[in-house]
Amino acid sequence: MAEAERLNKILQDVLDRVKHRGSSSKVNWMNFSNGQPVSRAKFDSIIEKYGFPLRDGDLDLIWGNIEVKGKTMGYSDYIRFITMDKIDASKASVGPRPLTQQAPSYAEKTSTNNTYRDAGNACPRPTTNPTYSSNKNQNDYGSNQSSGTSISKILIDYKASIGKSMISIDPNFTGLISVHEFEDILQRIALVNSSDVKRLVGIYDKSNCGYFNYFMLLGDICNQSNDLPPTMSGGSGRVGSGGRSSGSTGYNDASFADDYSQRNSGMSIGYSNYSAPPADEYSAPSQSAPAGTSRINEIITTIASRMDTVYDSTQSCFQKWRGSSRALGPQEFVAGIQRDFKYNVSLDEATSVISRFSNKGILSLGDFMKMVGEGSDSIQVNYKQKCLADLTDEEKTLMHIARQGKAKGGDWQDVLERCDSCELAVQSLRSLNIYVMLNDLRPCYKKFGKNGVIQKVHEFMSQV
């Protein structure tokens, strides 16, 4: 009975997410499939990215209960899917399962072979609990003699699941996730200490706004698991930071917990706290050494922030900088930015910027537009972080509820109106897959009251 309830709960969670992707069934289907027939492998990939705690065989049962007519799912099959009310355990899909990589959100121990599933691969059960460390001298967050919990080891062991869970609640790929949402993801894997989580997140949330760039965190996780050296001059091992090395074992390095501000980002996304210098100031040219990532990001955001003051379009800027040359190379890049923006850049720095967007040593118009777009995105994210920094802790909690409510749907307002206590509100919100900590919500009720909480959540719904 318990297994049937679990399967039906998984089904309803999946359908709640799928059916809120558009205003009608036809629009939902277009968003779900991009207007193309959905193969079994594609179906699995779509469902898995939502981050639900799927076990081996769950997707086989869901697919089998849809009773797809043929090898791929069409619109009529999709309608049967979204109108399902329960799962019949006798209707598993027929035929071999596609060779796609499973990535469940949480580790699951199978009952048959004493193994754990991580990123879809069955691997021997570790001799020690994966959420605990036997090394007393380990420098991981939360690793101590009293509790032994190692957050960094959890992040490394379950990086695929955690990464997909974070991406699933950020459908627009802003790169931002709240501290509350991150802690919710970790708590579903293992019991972790809230203070340890906040200490780790503090490395990436320098403005203390309650949100942080999880792309940076994922970059550090990949740095550790790929055995990259923690202090290499090119950065921390993220994209663009240098080559591989076998100088680190990953799990026991202190680099995962060191001060992020002492290292360069290396990510090509451009989400960093950089602001363009005033137009009447000249920056000193750098030395002949290759430009670091922070300097590259600064150059890109400077160009994006000053573009509109000189040109009416990115294309006109590109054409002016290129001049009579066939493409925009480092020399044209340096001359253009110095002439138009009074901003000094060395040839080495220009070469480093160009190499981020092109492997040909020159920028095409498309490459140039991509560079300016990245700088604009960085400016917008920085502005959003600055606005979030002005919110109180109570407002951040209610914005956290608003973001989940908007993404997952459900009548959250009716739930809050019917709940007479904060404790009951927390439990009832969980039935809608909206997660909030009791210790975070209680001050909100004390400060705003029940009606004030509902009103605030409504206000934040229009902002997230």
What would the pLDDT profile of 144-184 be if each residue is shown by its tens digit? 333 444 777 788 888 888 888 888 777 667 777 888 788 87
pLDDT tens per residue, range 232-284: 333 333 333 333 333 333 333 333 333 333 333 333 333 333 333 343 333 44
From residue 229, alpha-carbon distances to 31, 104, 244, 246, 261 in Å are 41, 29, 8, 7, 17
Is the pLDDT assigned to residue 321 strictly greater than 90?
yes
Instruction: Supply the DSSP symbol for 352.
Output: H
Q: What is the pLDDT of residue 99?
A: 40
Rounded percentage of the chain residues whose pLDDT exceeds 90: 8
Q: What is the pTM of this model?
A: 0.31
Q: Any residues with CB less than 8 A from the CB of 307 and at least 6 apart, and which?
A: 314, 317, 372
pLDDT tens per residue, range 36-45: 788 888 888 8
Is the pLDDT assigned to residue 318 strictly greater than 50?
yes
Confidence of residue 46 (pLDDT cuts 50, 70, 90): confident
- 427 or 148: which carries more pLDDT confidence? 427
Is the pLDDT assigned to residue 339 strictly greater than 90?
yes
The partner residues of 72 in beta bridges, in order of sequence, read 39
pLDDT tens per residue, range 284-299: 444 444 457 888 889 9
Q: Which phi and psi angles does 41 have, rounded to 5°?
A: -65, -40
HSE, CB side, 13 Å, CA atoms: give it for residue 305: 18
CB neighbourhood size of 68 (10 A): 22
- 23 or 100: which carries more pLDDT confidence? 23
Is the pLDDT assigned to residue 5 strictly greater than 80?
yes
Q: What value does the mean pLDDT of the chain take?
A: 70
Sign of the CA dihedral running 386, 392, 395, 396? positive
Is the pLDDT assigned to residue 387 strictly greater than 80?
no
Q: What is the pLDDT of residue 237?
A: 36
Confidence of residue 224 (pLDDT cuts 50, 70, 90): low
Q: What is the pLDDT of residue 419?
A: 87
The four Cα atoms 343, 349, 350, 352 give a dihedral, to 10 degrees, of: -150
Specify the pairing of strand 38-39 against strand 176-178: unpaired
Helix (H) or strand (E) holding 13: helix 2-18
Rounded percentage of the chain residues whose pLDDT exceeds 70: 67
